[in-house]
């Protein structure tokens, strides 16, 4: 936004200003797709270091419907699929707003991604890992703290615990811009609470039930194997075991 404001402050006509805004929007579109494709490539490379093909699990929507046209966590799935290395993908429905079943499932079908159990309810993740097997979980993030704690759609923390119990690698795919070194830990992240009606309506619950409906949760860094960005994958840890986000940001902030 600062770049855009600087570019239009000396313009004399509304036509010039509108043109500059449109040009910058088109630049942001191209950059976002480019960055997402890089995230997908880095993520696919990382996962394929230990497996020939990947059975992937994800939550919420992180695809072209959530970005400018490619995706972050779902971009990793796209990259694997384009290489013929995606054995299967499973999306959690992501209650109560069902971004997984409404959006991710749509993208999986439209992309022709493989799998026989492509959509499951949130509570089936553990059974899926135990009975059918999953090679990796890749999820998105709205913010990544200095120690690697990440905020994402509610249910992500649950999924990380399930993955840890089944020894399934758990990765976060997120743009470099989500790395916030000014927030020391996930305890600093404010969590939005959604209206009760959203949960009551989607679950056919009685209208007078008392509801707690947080939109996000925070996954502690100890349950995360790495953070996949367009500039590379963060796996290095500090002496206290935290993901070394600060060093990565310092080393890549001026890199183009």
236 is a catalytic site residue: no
Q: Is residue 96 reached through a cis peptide bond, with omega within 30 degrees of 0 on the bond before it?
A: yes
Could you give the CA distance from residue 211 to residue 106 in angstroms, rounded to a whole number?
A: 29
Q: Tokens 């020894």 sit at which residue? A: 167
Measured CA distances, 61 to 48, 65, 68 (Å): 23, 8, 13
Instruction: Report how far apart the first and last C-alpha atoms of the chain are (Å, whole number).
Output: 18
Cα(25)–Cα(219) distance, integer angstroms? 32
The half-sphere exposure of 45 on its side-chain side, counting CA atoms within 13 A, is 11
Q: Answer for the pair 180, 144: CB distance below 8 angstroms, yes or no.
A: yes
Residue 32 tokens read as 């976002």
DSSP 8-state secondary structure symbol assigned to residue 150: E
Question: Which residue's structure tokens are 């502690």?
Answer: 220
Residues 96 and 140: beta-carbon distance below 8 Å: no
Quick one: CA torsion of 38, 90, 61, 139, rounded to 10 degrees?
Answer: -60
Q: Among 32, 45, 142, 180, which one carries the catalytic annotation?
A: 142
DSSP code, position 187: G
Catalytic residues, by residue number, are: 142
């Amino acid at each position: 936004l600062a770049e855009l404001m600087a570019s239009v402050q000396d313009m004399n006509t509304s036509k010039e200003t509108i043109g500059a805004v449109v040009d910058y929007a088109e630049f942001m579109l191209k950059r976002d797709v480019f960055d997402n494709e890089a995230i997908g490539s880095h993520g696919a490379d990382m996962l394929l270091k230990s497996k020939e093909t990947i059975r992937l699990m994800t939550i919420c929507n992180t695809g072209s419907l959530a970005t400018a046209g490619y995706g972050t966590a779902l971009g990793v799935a796209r990259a694997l699929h384009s290489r013929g290395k995606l054995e299967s993908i499973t999306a959690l429905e992501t209650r109560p707003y069902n971004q997984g079943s409404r959006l991710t499932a749509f993208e999986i079908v439209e992309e022709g991604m493989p799998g026989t159990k492509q959509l499951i309810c949130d509570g089936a993740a553990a059974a899926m890992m135990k009975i059918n097997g999953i090679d990796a979980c890749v999820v998105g993030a709205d913010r990544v703290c200095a120690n690697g704690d990440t905020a994402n759609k509610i249910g992500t923390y649950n999924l990380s615990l399930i993955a840890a119990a089944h020894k399934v690698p758990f990765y976060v795919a997120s743009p470099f811009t989500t790395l916030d070194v000014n927030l020391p830990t996930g305890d600093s992240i404010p969590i939005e609470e959604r209206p009760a009606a959203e949960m009551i309506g989607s679950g056919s619950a009685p209208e007078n039930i008392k509801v707690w409906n947080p939109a996000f949760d925070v996954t502690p860094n100890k349950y995360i194997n790495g953070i996949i960005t367009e500039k590379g994958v963060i796996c290095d840890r500090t002496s206290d075991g935290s993901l070394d986000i600060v060093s990565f940001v310092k080393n890549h902030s001026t890199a183009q």
